[in-house]
Structure 1
């Protein structure tokens, strides 16, 4: 009996895997690479429909070969690939490459942007004549453009916020701590089907999926590459809700990462007991205006650095609010980022990132501002790029959500 088939988990359609493989193989051919070897778990899932401890060999032409350390039975049940076999160690992988390519000098794709150095050095010692080319950017580029099936996963992730934001409104009370309110929002998100994990490509990046912050908290210095700070529960807790109590007139930012079947959403809204200060209202309106201007520029064919350059110039000319895009050293150099199976995907609306927008790209855009004395302002929204421009993935008010 197959436990996987008996439990019937949602699987990636075989047609999706075939289309992704074909696109990746076309990129390999264009780069003159006879094959690529992939070890990154999320890339494995993208190209096979399963996430084993293993390796994938993708030739520029022909069928891929999935080598699995664990679990072989699960991989065979979840993946539509025909060739799924046991992984026999790094030496066994090297032997397989020698059979396919010989021992002469040849270029081979390898996910060098995420591969541990020790593993690379082992492969290099076993195959000294091979020239290893970083294939990470190739797969990141094809992953940046989502299929209709993937976009639907993003839409369902965004719909999780309706119940979650309602839970925040219902439980916003003076004296309730960030942690208490965050736990209620987290429970609502999990009931909507959130997997609990947030995945990143960048090594060492960690983030809890729900960050509720008020007052000084969102201006607190952070090592995370985002504009929202957090003192958290202790120095090693990362950006998570702390024990700061919610006070009347001090806004609460709920910056939450949704997830449906592995695909992320990244949306933030502002809540407040009573009326916030006028200065903070103006900052929030500035962020909403910035969002409208970014939306107007998010058209297919527009380079990301062009959007960043134009919005940066506009913000300075308008007299940007305090802590725009991060207070002090928290200030980030981007206005938006791609999302997918990972939260830090292409494209990035940042200076120097010249990739042009294409239909099917999914991005989170986050104009925000931070006042240590008053609290946070701003919002974050997710979009899919269409032929006509950006389409929001969630219909939820952008105004500060006032609770009497």
Structure 2
């Protein structure tokens, strides 16, 4: 079987699984527009609307590029769409009855689209299918897991390139540019998908010293100052100095699939309290790796990490300074914020095939951030790492 044949088989199975879920929920069809969801159910993405009936073959109504969509779609018919107004007529023209209940991605769908759909389907009841889709996507197939393994291998290579790129006195943004160039050479697709409204996100963080403790909008332990207030995220114009943490947190996107990892480097030596905090983060990571398995409650894993940080006397620095995030891990896959989330109140148990980035971190005001992040897959026997670059703080020479 060729790679394309295996991929097509996987995509068709995803469509059939969604159709079964729609049938169970008494939803007659789903109309999808979000890029990750369309890619998941077709194997491609172009500008259009994907209609998945509860039974039968999907139809992909494409505005542009129809030719590209026809060449790359792995499941369903591709039909040219010129305007929103054509959607009902095209569905009927290709043998579909207009659905009485229609699923939409209501977590991300623009209001302007929703209002259009209301006009086009005046007798239709709309239902939110985003939870169904996100739960399905949380459990990866064997084909997806192999793509994620390759993504993790390439992320390891990216992290291994950091020592040769670091230069004392250089700006964070210049150092980030060197590393991001290496990522592109390794096959990083550039885009890291992040679900939500205003999720403004770039490839990751290359932060030095107190930059990693700078508060901002991003829902993560570390945000970074950015270059200016228009995008207060990631590296700044600050220059690297000796004996301060170099915080490197990047996602690697390979053929659509994302892995995520963080490492800490230093030119010289970290302060003892930062070294100790990093060691505690490694201990928390190890405890989580030993506990992750099918059936485990995500909330219990978060609580375990919190207890360990408190026992170490580091609670006030754990997962962010003053505004800590309330999670210790997040799903990854087609999006950087896939399900599940290892957070309080999340009791739906882990399943084999879920892929999670676990990230115990400590942020010290005026000093920076330390900690670890690795992507793991939940297997029937426990957690297996997909990112394997050494976890210890890396001591660098800092060429001049």
Q: TM-score, normalized by length of structure 1? A: 0.93
Residue 243 of structure 1 aligns with which residue? 237
> In the alignment, does 2:335 pair up with 1:339?
no
> In the alignment, does 2:116 pair up with 1:151?
no
Give, in angstroms, the shift of residue 244 of structure 1: 1.2
- More displaced stretch, 239-248 vs 332-341: 239-248
Give, in angstroms, the shift of residue 135 of structure 1: 0.4
Residue 107 of structure 2 aligns with which residue? 113
SS in 2 for 1:228: coil
Pairing partner for 1:66 from 44, 47, 60: 60
Q: Distance in 2 between matches of 1:300 and 1:90?
A: 43
| Number of residue-to-residue matches in the alignment | 393
Q: Distance in 2 between matches of 1:283 and 1:96?
A: 60
Residues 148 and 258 in structure 2, CA contact (< 8 A), matched pair in contact too: yes
RMSD of aligned C-alpha atoms? 1.9
Residue 361 of structure 1 aligns with which residue? 354
> In the alignment, does 2:161 pair up with 1:170?
no
Map of 1:235-274 to 2, 5 A cutoff? 235-274=229-268
Q: What do residues 187-226 of structure 1 show as CA deviations (whole Å, max 9, x unaligned)?
A: 1111100011111111210211131111111111110111
Gaps of 5+ in 2: none
Give, in angstroms, the shift of residue 300 of structure 1: 0.5
Q: Distance in 2 between matches of 1:80 and 1:126?
A: 28
> In the alignment, does 2:284 pair up with 1:290?
yes
SS in 1 for 2:231: coil
Residue 226 of structure 2 aligns with which residue? 232
Residues 155 and 259 in structure 2, CA contact (< 8 A), matched pair in contact too: no
SS in 1 for 2:30: strand
Residues 280 and 312 in structure 2, CA contact (< 8 A), matched pair in contact too: no
Residue 213 of structure 2 aligns with which residue? 219
Residues 110 and 132 in structure 1, CA contact (< 8 A), matched pair in contact too: yes
Residue 142 of structure 1 aligns with which residue? 136
SS in 1 for 2:190: coil
Pairing partner for 2:371 from 373, 378, 381: 378
Gaps of 5+ in 1: 1-8
Q: What do residues 155-190 of structure 1 show as CA deviations (whole Å, max 9, x unaligned)?
A: 111122333223211232321221121111111111
Residues 30 and 129 in structure 2, CA contact (< 8 A), matched pair in contact too: yes
Give, in angstroms, the shift of residue 111 of structure 1: 1.1
Residues 336 and 364 in structure 1, CA contact (< 8 A), matched pair in contact too: yes
Residue 6 of structure 1 aligns with which residue? none
Give, in angstroms, the shift of residue 354 of structure 1: 2.5
Q: What do residues 335-394 of structure 1 show as CA deviations (whole Å, max 9, x unaligned)?
A: 110011111110000112222211111111111111123221101100011111110012
Q: Distance in 1 between matches of 2:138 and 2:354?
A: 6
